[in-house]
Structure 1
């Protein structure tokens, strides 16, 4: 619930800031921000070196032993600081060599410092999501008000970069105040710290490959086409990412729990949990896809501004990713990571990266933004397919086909009713809220009537207790 609350905040705050920022900075400003950060991502990937997932698993595996927990935390923290420090030096040399957007690169480089002090993996490993949620919550709210008050025009792009970068550093530093009573620093050698290098690099390979097929599109568009097109593509993906984030909340919470079940050899229980969460996610992602297509025309004009109207064409084509990405992510976090199946994880993302990079290089020069969109779809489909194949081959997992068919039927009917009832409505926030209300009402009613609504069972089980 803590994690869900935080992820919900990540949805609510952008609902306010995105219209402000998009209208203030325009297509070019948004494009510059995303282009710069697409390159910064490569540095932060090396600085973090796979600790986001590897660290959670390592901490979760020793959380019952306070002495081991302290040593493991100290080893990982020291390792993280040293790696991030050397990456920061390389980044400074990079900034000195480039001339275009140099000041923006320098400000965004604070993200590398943020990686140096990121210990969210520790709290996730001991399943203390309260700390991560509250620390991020405070910083997010502060940065939210700063954006609302200080980002008012294209001239405020510098301020926007600064607010985002500083808030990232502060949100990580704040977590150190909550370590008391949970663990402490132990004296560890460099050899002990760097014993994590090889396994962390295995996770890093996968994260690098993921970046190649998720971030490379922005980099290529900025280099080959223009930063304005980067702005259009980025906001198209951001809309989808907002929805995917809330749908995949369960994955982050369940990684340490499923790791614990696997280490305890409770495989049947592990698969049972995965089946339940998968179908809850599909219950949410399928109507989200159809709903996004239905409200798209009324949402884009007021949400992003008139300069982003082209998104009414791009978003519906990208909408299937609302289903595809959570599927692939869930298998990675709920099955492959708890089992430490890094080879299979890496293979899936390498295939996705290969397809993504090749498609971007071949298609962007010809089809521009549509080349990047096709590349994104192809790479995400490939990743999800390979991971599903692993799950089916190695476990007794199965999809409830009747239930999923019911979700699709209910989602289609819901979208048709939304379009019919709001066809002549103006593109305003009120219209969007009405459309969302209609969608929830229709979809909830249909799935309940078909007896495929998992929320009904959850509510019943709560009341039984």
Structure 2
């Protein structure tokens, strides 16, 4: 079992290295070709399309893992019920997107680019990675991710040369996501011998009803994470969006490299642990929380010390204004890290779904009010401050809520260096 966990960690770490290396090579190239304005337009359109992807994903990345780990014998029913539910949603929102493209100026003025970006919505149908998480099996994900990224990287370096190649760049990126998703979909069916079980429409509706609060939480989370970019684009310019999104991309890279491997490995294990014994699961989290704190502190210090050099190396002098934004966003990054652990691993596993949504609703309302009140004053800097404040507020509300329920995740004795080292060794050896 220990060897399997170690292998899984390194598989996921390898995937995230690919997620890191791919932008490491492409970002310096495309940012210098397209500049802040065109990159801002692309980010703005992908942010809008991201709302549609949220509907297709619903909340199955979380609840799919929860269902499978607590009932492996029902894998066939769960798999196809989730897929069919997503398929129905995709049909409905595709019709709505067509209406938007021909009636919203931003989309109608960039029809081709909008449709290309929408490919990612259909890719969501194939991204059933939750089943790999449930089985703690990440070898296939690693191979597929690395292969599609290498292919995309080669095509970008060969064919993307001029500012007029924005649509081509977008198509290469989106197509690689789509192909990778459906290769994974087919291989998951073959590997886990998932047999066709005709999904019942009533069961699909029940899944949607059961997962509604977590779905709403993803919508609300998007309101205070991504909507700021859309509002920034509406009230200022594509250049401001380009500067902000460049700094945010560095934060996303750090999150992909550090947070997601732990999240994908720990979530299924904790989900199963919470299903058996809540107190033991909470004790595991209390022991690893100091490690999270140390990591977050080191990450923030690293960004503050080397933020200017990172922006210069990745994006060039055209994006020098992004360095201050990166330092502001680093505060939010620390809060995001704690939010995923406390919210995703504790509150949701304790099935406080409704309360979690209420907290996100509060933060979303505060974030929207601040964005509409303050922007366009301050531009991208204002958006960065509001995003970081929103993430800190969300984490604070989660900690307060758990304390009100009599749950304390921070025990001072676990912060001693000797225990920190012991916990780290224990995680590796499990």
For normalisation by structure 2, the TM-score amounts to 0.90
Answering whether residue 188 of structure 2 is matched by residue 178 of structure 1, we say: yes
Any conservation in 1 of the 2:69–2:134 contact (CA below 8 Å)?
yes
Q: Using a 3 Å threshold, how does the CA distance of structure 1 residues 311 and 196 change in structure 2: closer, same or farther? A: same
2:286 and 2:411 in contact (8 A); partners too:
no
Identify the match of residue 24 of structure 2 among 15, 34, 47: 15
1:238-257: CA deviation from partner (whole Å, max 9, x where unpaired): 11121122332312222221
1:118 aligns with 2:127: yes
> Out of 371, 376, 390, which is 1:360 matched to?
371
Post-superposition shift, 1:223?
0.9
Question: Is structure 2 residue 56 aligned with structure 1 residue 47?
Answer: yes
- Does the 8 Å CA contact 1:328/1:384 hold for their aligned counterparts? yes
2:166 matched to which residue of 1?
157
TM-score (norm 1): 0.84
The total of aligned residue pairs comes to 415
Q: CA 1:307 to 1:190, structure 2 compared with 1: closer, same or farther past 3 Å?
A: same
Are the equivalent residues in 2 in contact too, given 1:224–1:365 (CA < 8 A)?
Answer: yes
Retained in 2: the 8 A contact 1:351–1:382? no
Alignment of 1:96-245 (within 5 A): 96-98=102-104, 99-175=108-184, 176-182=186-192, 183-245=194-256
Question: Would you say the 8 A contact 2:68–2:134 is kept in 1?
Answer: yes
Deviations 1:358-395 (A, max 9, x none): 11111112222222122112211111111122333335
- RCO comparison, higher one (Cα < 8 Å, 6+): 2
1:278–1:147 CA distance, 2 compared to 1 (3 A) = farther
- Written as runs of structure 1 = structure 2, the 5 A alignment for 1:60-459 is 60-63=69-72, 65=73, 68-98=74-104, 99-175=108-184, 176-182=186-192, 183-249=194-260, 250-264=262-276, 266-394=277-405, 396-401=407-412, 451=417, 454=420, 458-459=424-425
Which of 12, 17, 28 does residue 3 from structure 1 map onto? 12
Shift of 1:161: 0.9
Aligned-pair distance for 1:160?
A: 1.4
| Residues 73 and 185, structure 1, Cα contact 8 Å, conserved in 2 | no
1:267 and 1:125 map into 2 onto residues whose CA distance is 19
Looking at structure 2, the residues matched to 22 and 177 of structure 1 have their Cα atoms a distance apart, in angstroms, of 35
SS in 2 for 1:397: coil
CA distance in 1, matches of 2:81, 2:217: 22
Superposed displacement of residue 19, structure 1: 1.1
Structure 2 gap segments, 5+ residues each: 1-8
User: What are the superposed Cα offsets for residues 117-173 of structure 1, whole Å, 9 maximum, x if unpaired?
Assistant: 221122222322223332222212221222222223322211111011111211210
Secondary structure of residue in 1 paired with 2:199: coil
* Aligned counterparts of 2:288 and 2:332: Cα–Cα separation in 1: 18
1:346 CA drift (Å): 0.8
- Mapped to 1, the partners of 2:99 and 2:339 lie a distance apart of 37
Q: Which residue does the alignment assign to 1:409?
A: none
Q: Is the 8 A contact 2:32 2:316 kept in 1?
A: yes
The reply on whether 1:28 has 2:37 as its aligned counterpart is yes
Inter-partner Cα distance in structure 1 for 2:428 and 2:393: 38
- In structure 2, the CA distance between the partners of 1:170 and 1:376, relative to structure 1 (3 Å rule), is same
SS at match of 1:251: helix
Give deviations 1:184-222, integer Å, cap 9, x for gaps. Answer: 221232112222111232221111101111111111111
CA deviation after TM superposition for structure 1 residue 28, in Å:
0.9
